[in-house]
Amino acid sequence: MSDPSTAPTTGTDVSPYDALLLLSFGGPEKPEDVVPFLENVTRGRGIPRERLVEVGQHYFGFGGKSPINDQNRAFLAALRADLKEAGVDLPVYWGNRNWDPYLTDTLAQMKADGVRRAAVFTTSAYASYSSCRQYRENLFDAAEAVGDGNVSAAPVLDKLRHYFNHPGFIEPVVDGVLSALADLPEDQRAAARIVFVTHSIPTVMNDASGRPGAGGAYVAQHLDVSRVVADRVATETGVAHDWDLVYCSRSGAAHIPWLEPDVNDHLEELHARGTTAVVLCPVGFVSDHMEVIYDLDTEALATCERLGMQARRSATAGDDPRFVAAVRDLVLERAAVERGEEVTRNSVGEFGALWDRCPAGCCFNARADKPTLAGEDSPQRADAAQ
Ligand SMILES: CC1=C(CCC(=O)O)c2cc3nc(cc4[nH]c(cc5[nH]c(cc1n2)c(C)c5CCC(=O)O)c(CCC(=O)O)c4C)C(CCC(=O)O)=C3C
Ligand SMILES: [Fe+2]
């Protein structure tokens, strides 16, 4: 574990990598995209039709355009500039799970460009099937397509370790909470509660998240980050604000348990207990996704307004230079590991830096046992790329 101010790893040697891949979720760009996008996301997942209609309305309410693609474009530009500035010569590609540019097309382009081995950074910080393993399934499917059935004929893909506890992710979140607190009326500030919010998932998905047999990593990692952020805020302000971790964006059938409480129910409860001011911190999201601009900025802030509670939504890491530099740090760290060198791994909180390769069976989804890349049991052999 290291001091949160630790500078990113220095150096410029990224061998054995010859590319970096930004892997994200994707989102619609215009109204005609909304329904096909939702079909891509929910294929085979048993999401009730009413929920799809409702989520479609969220997108249509914002002109049929998700903010996520523009945020990835901005992140890409910032990442390329950061690497160039640091003297790191590494082309950066971008591919999505659910929308253009699709991962498979990007991987085909990488192969055509002669890429043999790439580091992969996903826009999802925590462990769970939806936020980690499913991306590793996507990597397998893309490599299988690009390698004509032989994943080792595609570029070798190494997913970078989880970064929820990397100081470059945490520090912008801390600053966001500090700014949000400062923006509250002065007489409300000291008593304000910090309400950390993340994407709800089915409780069985949380139970299976992380190392097989351990479980619960999704919630445990969010609690760890929330505690670190709250402690850092207390150090800066001299006030130990009470805090909670709650959830947004529940979907799925009503009889299936998902993580609770929902942020809106929680705000009602806080109001009933006498809370008069909150900071809503979207700790589970790396940028201002639809969940943030709809579920928090539109819905949860309206709940606060109705209850007469003062509320501010704090900023996500987005393209903060410290978060961008964290990607460079993670690539240089992993490259050194793959070269067999000793490394210092930056992290804060109680977990320390997690594994480079997910353990076999990590974040398993019992509903669909599908092959993955980038784990200990990856069928891609690194030496195939040499
Ligand atoms: C843990 C998690 C993250 C990780 C946090 C992260 O990566 O940041 C995440 C990210 C995202 N989820 C997103 C959008 C959607 N997720 C859906 C559905 C679901 N998400 C789930 C979980 C997660 N999702 C789950 C368990 C489902 C049920 C169906 C299934 O098992 O797959 C649906 C279907 C409709 C609905 O059910 O809501 C949509 C439209 C977008 C794009 C936003 C934009 O456009 O800005 C992003 C980044
Ligand atoms: Fe989602």
Express each pLDDT in 73-107 by its tens digit: 999 999 999 999 999 999 999 999 999 999 999 99
Instruction: Flag whether 103 is in a domain.
Output: yes
221 C-beta closer than 6 A to ligand 1 = no
Residue 271 among known ligand-binding residues: no
Residues 289 and 327 both lie in one domain: no
User: Which residue among 295, 313, 331 closes a domain?
Assistant: 313
Same domain, 209 and 299: yes
pLDDT at 43: 87
Residues 188, 205: one domain? yes
Q: Are residues 39 and 130 in the same domain?
A: yes
Q: Is the CB of 251 under 6 A from ligand 1?
A: yes
* ipTM score assigned to the predicted complex: 0.94
CA of 228 relative to ligand 2 center, distance in Å: 25
Q: Is residue 116 part of a domain?
A: yes
Whole-number Å distance, alpha carbon 101 to ligand 2 midpoint, is 18
Residue with the nearest Cα to atom 15 of ligand 1? 41
Q: Are residues 255 and 279 in the same domain?
A: yes
pLDDT digits (tens, 9 = 90+) for 261-318: 999 999 999 999 999 999 999 999 999 999 999 999 999 999 999 999 999 999 999 9
Q: Confirm whether 214 is domain-assigned.
A: yes
- DSSP calls for 131-191: IIIHHHHHHHHHHHHHTTT-GGGSPEEEEPPP-TT-HHHHHHHHHHHHHHHHHS-HHHHTT
Region 24-53 average pLDDT: 91
pLDDT on residue 79: 98
pLDDT band at 9 (very low <50, low <70, confident <90, very high): low
How remote is the CA of residue 361 from the centroid of ligand 1, in Å? Answer: 22
Task: Please tell me the predicted confidence (pLDDT) of residue 93.
Answer: 98
Q: How far apart are CA 79 and CA 328, in angstroms?
A: 8
- Answer yes or no: pTM beyond 0.80: yes
Count structural domains, the chain: 2
Residue 11 lies in a domain: no
Judgement on whether residues 284 and 375 belong to the same structural domain of the protein: no
Residue 355: give the domain boundaries: 19-164+319-385
* Candidate of 22, 25, 162, 294 to mutate for ligand 1, largest count of ligand atoms within 8 Å of Cβ: 25
In a domain, 2, yes or no: no
